[in-house]
Amino acid sequence: MFVLVNLKAYAADPVEIATVAHEVADESGVRIAVAPQTAHLERVAETGVETWAQHVSPVEHGSHTGSALAEAVADAGAVGTLINHSEKRLKLADVDGAVAAAERASLETVVCANNPEQVGAAAALGPDAVAVEPPELIGGDVSVSQADPDIVEDAVAAADAVDESVDVLCGAGVSTGEDLDAAGDLGAEGVLLASGVAKADDPRAALSGLVETLS
């Protein structure tokens, strides 16, 4: 299982969480990555944790002020990127362009989608994975794998129907080991979470508890 921690723009210390994530990954053998703000990518990557960007823009080198250039993200130490998070929605053509930009910079890609139908459309663009995240559950106390397991199963089926090589991650409300186990039982290859770690009083305890059944 892959655990991808999105720090969003929370008032959390990205280096502290990255350091903890790296240590828990080493101790547990579980793949854990951290996606900080773009300005913090290099500092986070220096901790040794697998580092992801929260977004890349569908652009090449040129006159694109304010864009997150995929090559710059990679130069800062990122090895992957989220695309089309519910808080950073893109048109389908721009999702396609962002996936292409990430591939150009050798970045792994996870495209976010609201529902199984969108998962199928996203999978057709050839990302490495798609994360299903019903917006109403994001930031809540109940994970999608617990609240509506059919969405996860249907998302896995939708991705498989298009391209069996595209993994499905489970997002929205994930915070416990039970959530992670439930996601795996439903066919997901990992989880995407944020507040469960980024807003935790003890990020190490939160991450350790999340992966304890996998180690």
User: Annotated catalytic residue: which of 85, 103, 117, 189?
Assistant: 85
Distance CA 209, CA 215 (A): 11
Mode of pairing for the β-strands spanning 31-35 and 129-132: unpaired
Give residue 128's region: left, alpha or beta (phi > 0; psi -120 to 50): alpha
Whether 16 sits among the annotated catalytic residues: the reply is no
Between vectors from CA 113 to CA 197 and to CA 115, what angle results, nearest 5°? 110
Tokens standing for residue 24: 């828990």
User: Annotated catalytic residue: which of 50, 133, 153, 189?
Assistant: 133
CB atoms within 10 A of CB 36: 29
Distance CA 95, CA 127 (A): 10
Q: Residue 116 gets which letter from DSSP?
A: H
Distance CA 160, CA 94 (A): 23
Whether 133 sits among the annotated catalytic residues: the reply is yes
**Active-site annotation, residues:** 85, 133
